[in-house]
Amino acid sequence: MALSCNLSSLLDSFPTTDDKLSVLQQIKVLINSTSRKELQDDVHNISFNLIFDSLPTFNREEMQICCDVLNSLFMALSPSSVMENYSHELQQGLTVRNQSIQTLSLSQLKRLPSDLFEVYLAKNHQFLSCLLQLLAEDNLQIATSAASILNKLGDCPESLQQLFHSDLHAVLDSIIKTNDVVRFRVYELLVNIGNSSARNLSLVIGSGLLENLLNELYGDSADVLAKMNCVELLTNLTTSDHGFTWLTEHKVLDCLETLLIKADSDVLLELLQPGLITFFGSVARHRPNEICSKYQHFLSKVLSSLNSSDMTLRTIGIETIAQIAITKNGKLILKKYGSKMDEAMKNVGQTIQNCPEDVKVRALSAFASILQLTAEDQNDEMLALTQHWFSLISSNPFNLIFSIGQQPFPNIRLASKSIYVSLANQRWALELMAHHPTFIEYLLDRSTEASSEDKRLKYKVVEALLQNSCTEEMFGSPNYLKLRLYQQQGPFYVQSQPAVTMEGDC
């Protein structure tokens, strides 16, 4: 009770004090020096109303400290307690043209799990209206936070329906006309909600806004940036079965391949190529047979892009091949492209050796996915295929990966280790590792890695090797036992250094 008495005394002085900043600082010190349990026990006895009532009179420094104080006190309460006692104040905070207050209110609303969101927000049109209007805020952080809260409407289909058939629909119509940025924020919100379930997507479709999105993509407008945003949002829909069904029924994939073909001869549409390739790659990851057989221009474009002087296009091409090749079926489809796929792998090797660091990192990570082969998918054909693709990146591919992994660039070192992890369960790759003159020495040397992430990934390589029944045979029993000891000691083991007694120490 001592805490509540002290706090109440300070709060009671608010209306009359001439030095609100000093009082706020005292409150902040008192809260920061109090345990969370004590705050939770006593905070119910404290009224926040005097602070809220004083908000309009604060200067910037007072406002920031006040928000810090309120946030600390709110965090000592459960989300339901905050909403039961201060929902009106939080709603008012959303409408105040002050980023600190808006952030305070949003941070409390983001704490609500889906069940409490449905109780306190989903049916409260005033709250939802305030959140929708924040999508039009210039401040990206505020707009993004509001969108993340509104995404929970996807868990409340009945309330979602009200978004399109009540006074909220007028709010939605109003903010969508603000500008291009806000319009696409609304599109993104609706795509995310629609992607969460078939029922939600049906409700979103009923609003007509997804049709508007397609019209922006297909229209004659020269606004390529808007079309790029449309493609990116539609890519999100490919991750769900019901989203893909809707895209197929509306022949969106056919239209996008037409755009991809036109992009070969249209300078403006050429800017859409990376987004279009990413779109088809996302679909092909889960449906490789269907996409690669029907949309052959897409795959031909991907394979040829690996020789592009445009680093963005080349990188996306490599990553798209990796998306397709991540599955056994995808690998077998790519195998059918014979010499074109071989040439693509040679270009991967050139990219790894000669391109800028950021491109190298993404190419190495993608190549690791291309080589990945689960134990269940391994047979003579698949092992021969990954071995063949690996052999094409250079005349001595393992030496290339090993030497790149020794470079003093953290991200490149990490990416090279991801390739070792992919190779560790394949016998042909174990032979290369075992016959390399310094690989096992490097692997067992803990002093070669500085960052915790590097150490963790190197440990993952060791674990992957030990899961392969051929490792002892390939590396020999002494090295195998050293690998086992490495695994037992964990990723961050540091060997203790013996103390050396110097003359004169005694």
The last residue of a domain, from among 371, 399, 427: 371
| Domain shared by 161 and 194, yes or no | yes
| Domain shared by 140 and 76, yes or no | no
List b or e across 374-396, with b for residues whose CB sees 16 or more CB atoms inside 10 angstroms. Answer: eeeeeeeebbebbbebbbbbbee
483: which 2 tokens?
């690998």
| Domain shared by 90 and 162, yes or no | no
Residue 2 has pLDDT above 80, yes or no: no
* Contact by Cβ (8 Å): 93, 104: yes
| Domain shared by 265 and 364, yes or no | yes
Model confidence over 327-367: pLDDT tens digits?
Answer: 999 999 999 999 999 999 999 999 999 999 999 999 999 99
CA-CA-CA-CA torsion sign (392, 398, 400, 401): positive
Angstrom distance (rounded) from CA 70 to CA 104: 8
Structural domain range at position 80? 1-103
Task: Please state the rounded mean pLDDT for residues 241-260.
Answer: 92
Q: Which has the minimum average pLDDT: 59-63, 244-248, 437-441? A: 59-63
Confidence of residue 268 (pLDDT cuts 50, 70, 90): confident
Residue 506 has pLDDT above 50, yes or no: no
Output the pTM of the full model.
0.81
Look at residue 235 and tell me if it is in a domain. Answer: no
Residue 96 has pLDDT above 50, yes or no: yes
Task: Please state the rounded mean pLDDT for residues 145-172.
Answer: 87
Q: What is the pLDDT of residue 28?
A: 82
| Domain shared by 156 and 70, yes or no | no
477: which 2 tokens?
């029993």
At a CB cut-off of 8 Å and minimum separation 6, what does 7 contact?
A: 27, 30, 31, 42, 46
At a CB cut-off of 8 Å and minimum separation 6, what does 390 contact?
A: 371, 397, 423, 429
8: which 2 tokens?
């109440």
Look at residue 124 and tell me if it is in a domain. Answer: yes
Look at residue 346 and tell me if it is in a domain. Answer: yes
At a CB cut-off of 8 Å and minimum separation 6, what does 447 contact?
A: none
Angstrom distance (rounded) from CA 274 to CA 305: 10
Look at residue 401 and tell me if it is in a domain. Answer: no
| Alpha-carbon separation of residue 277 from 24, 201, 215, 305 (angstroms) | 55, 24, 20, 10
Residue 160 has pLDDT above 90, yes or no: no
The last residue of a domain, from among 77, 103, 129: 103
Model confidence over 164-196: pLDDT tens digits?
Answer: 877 888 898 899 999 999 999 999 999 999 999
Q: How many domains does the chain have?
A: 4
CA-CA-CA-CA torsion sign (132, 134, 137, 143): negative
Look at residue 397 and tell me if it is in a domain. Answer: no
Look at residue 505 and tell me if it is in a domain. Answer: no
Residue 312 has pLDDT above 60, yes or no: yes
Q: What is the pLDDT of residue 47?
A: 72
* Contact by Cβ (8 Å): 190, 204: yes
Phi-psi region of 445 (alpha: psi -120 to 50; beta: other; left: phi over 0): beta
Look at residue 239 and tell me if it is in a domain. Answer: no
* Contact by Cβ (8 Å): 322, 344: no
Task: Please state the rounded mean pLDDT for residues 422-435.
Answer: 95
| Domain shared by 15 and 98, yes or no | yes
* Contact by Cβ (8 Å): 460, 467: no
196: which 2 tokens?
């969460």
Look at residue 189 and tell me if it is in a domain. Answer: yes
Residue 57 has pLDDT above 80, yes or no: no
| Domain shared by 361 and 429, yes or no | no
CB count within 10 Å of CB 80 equals 15
| Domain shared by 89 and 123, yes or no | no
Task: Please state the rounded mean pLDDT for residues 436-458.
Answer: 92
DSSP at 306? T
Q: Which has the minimum average pLDDT: 82-91, 315-324, 483-492? A: 82-91
Task: Please state the rounded mean pLDDT for residues 470-490.
Answer: 94
The last residue of a domain, from among 78, 103, 128: 103
| Domain shared by 267 and 211, yes or no | no
| Domain shared by 89 and 154, yes or no | no
Model confidence over 276-310: pLDDT tens digits?
Answer: 999 999 999 989 988 988 998 999 999 999 999 99
User: What is the CATH number for 280?
Assistant: 1.25.10.10
| Domain shared by 355 and 292, yes or no | yes
| Domain shared by 256 and 166, yes or no | no
254: which 2 tokens?
């056919």
